[in-house]
Amino acid sequence: MTGARLLRILERVFNAPGASATERLCVVGAEATATTGAGIMLLANGLPGGSVYTTDDVSARLEELQFTSGEGPCVDAFDQHRPVDEPDLLARAAIRWPAFTQPAIDAGARAVFGFPVAIGSANLGALNLYRDEVGPLTFDQHADALVVADLVARSVLSMQAGAPPGQLGADLTADFNFRFVVHQASGMVAVQLGVTVTDALVLLRAHAFSHDQMITDVGQAVVEGRVRLGPPIDLPGA
């Protein structure tokens, strides 16, 4: 990143409204890219982490849809370690993300963008951007988004720096919208069915998709004993 661009973004973040650095970064991320909304998704090993912050209800919905379906621009940006853009959801993305696209359109998104939140080998999640009308990012908007995503990664690592091993930092938990229930439900299903946690998450997502529910709602039902998932059809002995 160029020094001038970084200084310009930092100045905007310093002057932006918001109680926390991550909140201000999301606000600036949307403003600098002329997008309608922004959010910060954290992921790890294919499991949903949570939303550090979202600027509006549509951004929050888009992140929830990606956590539920396991697909979308931020999931791809995290997995592929590169920016992912879809400037026209109505035109092409149904094939690209069959489970995510139509609900995203119904939520009000017409263009979506994901930028990796990472520093070196530390892959933390993705910066989530959307527009309520079609259109690509310009070169400068794309470059600004990269700077914001880098600053988000540094901010998250800074908030985590002083935490005891195995625990999240207090500054991070203050803003973080946790999805512990999904992790808990994945563990329960894994034990009940004798599958890996990753396979258990796939089953949770499949149930959520087939019943038109969010994965957090399914996870809560599993934890409370209201839903018990059966084994996958290819599981030995099923």
Pick from 34-43, 194-203, 217-226: least confident = 194-203
Residue predicted with more confidence, 229 or 110: 110
Identify the CA nearest to 52 among candidates 208, 183, 157, 165. 157
Residue pointed to by tokens 């004798």: 194
The predicted pLDDT at position 237 comes to 42
Every domain of the chain and the residues it spans: 3-177, 180-223
Confidence (pLDDT) at 48: 56
CA 127 – CA 225 distance, rounded (Å): 34
147 is written with which tokens?
Answer: 């700077």
The mean pLDDT of 143-166, rounded to a whole number, is 80
> 111 near 130, Cβ under 8 Å?
yes
| Banded model confidence at residue 236, pLDDT cuts 50, 70, 90 | very low
Give pLDDT, residue 235.
45
Mean pLDDT is lowest, of 14-18, 121-125, 129-133, 200-204, for 200-204
Which two tokens mark 84? Answer: 């992912």
177 bridge partner residues = 51
Hey, how many other C-beta atoms are within 10 angstroms of the C-beta on 184? Answer: 14
Question: What are residue 74's phi and psi, to 5 degrees?
Answer: -75, -35
Mean pLDDT on 151-176:
64
Distance CA 56, CA 70 (A): 21
Range list of H helices, the chain: 3-15, 21-32, 57-69, 73-80, 93-96, 101-107, 139-161, 170-175, 180-193, 197-210, 215-223
pLDDT at 166: 46
pLDDT for residue 16 is more than 60 = yes
> Which CATH class for the 180-223 domain?
mainly alpha
For range 43-55, the mean pLDDT: 72
Q: Which segment of 93-97, 180-184, 208-212, 224-228 scores lowest on mean pLDDT?
A: 180-184
CATH code at 3-177: 3.30.450.40
CA distance readout (Å), 133 to 130, 200, 212: 9, 36, 25
